[in-house]
Amino acid sequence: MQHESRRKTYAVLLALAALALIAVIYITSGERDRLTPVEYVVREILAPVQTGLFRIASWVNGSVRTLASLSLNVRENHALKQEVARLTAENVYLEEQRLENIRLRRLLDFEEKAPHKTLAAEAIARDPGNWLNTVTLNKGTGHGVKKDMAVVSCEGLLGRVVSASSSTANVLLIIDPRSAVGGVVQRTRSLVLVEGDPETPGMCLVKCLTMESDLVTGDKILSSGLGGIYPKGLIIGEIVELIPGKYGVGSAARLKPAADFARLEEALIILEPSSSRDMPLSEEEADMR
Amino acid sequence: MRYWVLAALSVLMVAVETTVIPYISVSGIGPDIVGSFVALVSMLNGRQDGLFVAVAAGFMEDMSSGQFLGLFTVVRLVIGYLAGACYQKVFQEWVLVPMVLVFVTGFVSGCLHVFLLASFGVPFGSYQVVLGAVIFQAAYSALLSPFLMRATCSIDGYVRRISGHRKSL
């Protein structure tokens, strides 16, 4: 009897708690400008634990991978030595071209493109579930990080900051279905929209913004800079598969992001995009379209 | 003492899930180690402990995620409640018991998680893709559950020794 009554109490309490929590989920389902004080404190407490564990996991993973690839290293070393020799020669040639380019730009009175002002950060945690693609970085508002700052890796665009505490920042990755990035096809300069692909985890969908699009496999997509969040010219990825639209009208494509999200460890937060890169498409580029 | 240990273990599980699990995930799908822990504690110690762990771990996950606050807590509470039904009713020592329990609760929690996210506007792929991912996650969690069960039982024994408490954990 007592057991039955306790079971009923649990069920009622659970139902009430679930209803209250669903209301909280609804309230916090949209994007928020700032974290609640409780979230702020908990994240600050969790950050050192996550940093320590992430470093250990990263070290173990690195060691295992190194051991596994030991047999390949000898062959790879030989090939790399040849590659280094070739690249050294090429580098000298490119350096000459770069210096010539600088001289010509100065002659034409062009503003030199300054690199973006960035902040290096370490990825210390992933979203606890498997359904949302966010990552926590170990730099926050205390380091000058703000909401909607773009985040890149050395390979390409990663995403944007959606919330930040004093020492952590949550980044919505471009592979998340809620993410949308304005892009431009490098070959044709056509404007496209790059969204996270809900069908294929880790991939993106490219949607054309114009009727006459001629996407082909291998096309590189760069950020257009038109959305106001992502600076212009950052590499997003490469088209790997074309998806024909209904009745053959319109087209989309599947994009493989340039950045490796599965093994994400370091990232650069763009604190201040350079003014020249940040400009929207120039008239010349618009004419080309 | 028991509740302090359970709370500390919940924090540790959340920290492991957000840092270590991405390294062992397959195609972006990793095991739900926190969900498995909640289910096992609920089966071993009853609903009261299970719901406590569900709230502690769910709260930490929600705070860590920063989006859809309360989502993880709801899902964990449901797991804790369901798994609590097995308390003192199943033969826990048999290795298949934790595996089946974790698979079933993992499947239910995966479906609930997706349903709630979809209800609040998060886009998902076709239902076959989502169902495949949910089943894979539940199966992956079930495979790891005997190890987690063993670890939980070891900590349980240790806590009982140092606190002189009769009930596990």
A 10 A CB-CB count for B45 gives: 22
**In one letter, which amino acid is B102?**
V
Is residue B62 pLDDT above 70, yes or no?
yes
Q: Which of A71-85, A92-106, A151-165, B55-69 is least confident?
A: A92-106
| ipTM of this complex prediction, to 2 decimal places | 0.74
- Taking the Cβ of residue A74 and every Cβ of chain B, the question of whether any pair is shorter than 8 Å is answered with no
Can you give the pLDDT at residue B106?
93
Residue-wise pLDDT for A239-248, tens only, equals 998 887 766 5
User: Closest Cα partner for B54 from B39, B66, B33, B44?
Assistant: B39
Rounded CA separation B129/B113 (Å): 15
Spell out the residues 6+ positions from residue A241 whose beta carbon is closer than 8 angstroms to its own: A217, A253, A254
The verdict on a CB contact (< 8 Å) between B72 and A128 is yes
The encoded tokens of residue A256 equal 């493989």
Rounded CA separation B72/B59 (Å): 7
Mean pLDDT of chain A: 80
User: Closest Cα partner for B140 from B56, B45, B28?
Assistant: B28
Is residue A249 pLDDT above 70, yes or no?
no
Mean pLDDT of chain B: 85
The verdict on a CB contact (< 8 Å) between B15 and A46 is yes
DSSP A32-80: -SS--HHHHHHHHHHHHHHHHHHHHHHHHHHHHHHHHTHHHHHHHHHHH
Can you give the pLDDT at residue A151?
93
Rounded CA separation B84/B49 (Å): 9
Is residue A111 pLDDT above 50, yes or no?
no
Q: Taking residues B77-85, what's their average pLDDT?
A: 89
Burial of A83 (0-12, 13-18, 19+ CB in 10 A): exposed
Can you give the pLDDT at residue B165?
57
Please indicate, yes or no, if residue B25 is contained in any of the structural domains.
no
Give A-chain residues touching B116 at CB under 8 angstroms. 22, 25
CB A211 within 8 A of CB A133: no
Can you give the pLDDT at residue A92?
79
Can you give the pLDDT at residue A247?
61
CB interface of A with B, residues 16-35, below 8 Å: 17-18, 20-22, 24-29, 35
Task: Give the domain extent around B135.
Answer: 2-18+30-163
Can you give the pLDDT at residue A278?
44
Q: How far is CA B86 from CA B7, B102, B150, in A?
A: 22, 12, 18
pTM: 0.72
Q: Which of A222-236, A271-285, B147-161 is least confident?
A: A271-285
Residue-wise pLDDT for B120-161, tens only, equals 888 887 888 889 999 999 999 999 999 998 888 888 777 777
Percentages helix, strand, coil for chain A, rounded to the nearest 5?
40, 25, 35
Beta bridge partners of A137: A123, A169
Rounded CA separation A113/A43 (Å): 37
Is residue A288 pLDDT above 50, yes or no?
no
Q: What percent of chain A has pLDDT over 90?
A: 13
Please indicate, yes or no, if residue B11 is contained in any of the structural domains.
yes
Name the closest residue on chain B to residue A41, using Cα atoms: B63
Rounded CA separation B18/B63 (Å): 12
The verdict on a CB contact (< 8 Å) between A125 and B64 is yes
Is residue B169 pLDDT above 70, yes or no?
no
CB B64 within 8 A of CB B41: no
Between A42 and A172, name the one with better pLDDT.
A172
What CATH number is attached to the domain comprising B68?
1.10.1760
User: Closest Cα partner for B136 from A252, A201, A42?
Assistant: A201
Please indicate, yes or no, if residue B24 is contained in any of the structural domains.
no
pLDDT band at A255 (very low <50, low <70, confident <90, very high): very high
pLDDT band at A177 (very low <50, low <70, confident <90, very high): confident
Is residue A196 pLDDT above 80, yes or no?
yes
Rounded CA separation A129/B139 (Å): 15
- Taking the Cβ of residue A15 and every Cβ of chain B, the question of whether any pair is shorter than 8 Å is answered with no
Residue-wise pLDDT for A40-90, tens only, equals 777 787 778 778 777 777 777 777 777 777 777 888 888 888 888 888 888
Please indicate, yes or no, if residue B168 is contained in any of the structural domains.
no
Between A45 and A223, name the one with better pLDDT.
A223
Between A282 and B16, name the one with better pLDDT.
B16
pLDDT band at A132 (very low <50, low <70, confident <90, very high): confident
Cross-chain CB nearest to B69 (options A28, A54, A57): A28
Class in CATH terms, A115-289: mainly beta
Spell out the residues 6+ positions from residue A19 whose beta carbon is closer than 8 angstroms to its own: none
Rounded CA separation B56/B6 (Å): 9
Q: Taking residues A120-147, what's their average pLDDT?
A: 87
Name the minimum distance, in Å, from the CA of A246 to any CA of chain B. 17
Is residue B111 pLDDT above 90, yes or no?
yes
The encoded tokens of residue A117 equal 């002002």
A 10 A CB-CB count for A90 gives: 10
Q: Taking residues A187-215, what's their average pLDDT?
A: 84
Give B-chain residues touching A11 at CB under 8 angstroms. 81
CA angle A140, A142, A146 (to 5 degrees): 50
Is residue A281 pLDDT above 50, yes or no?
no
Based on the structure, what is the number of domains in chain B? 1
Domain boundaries, chain A: 115-289
Burial of B12 (0-12, 13-18, 19+ CB in 10 A): middle
3-state secondary structure B73-124: HHHHHHHHHHHHCCCCCCCCCCCHHHHHHHHHHHHHHHHHHHHHHHHCCCCC
pLDDT band at A103 (very low <50, low <70, confident <90, very high): low
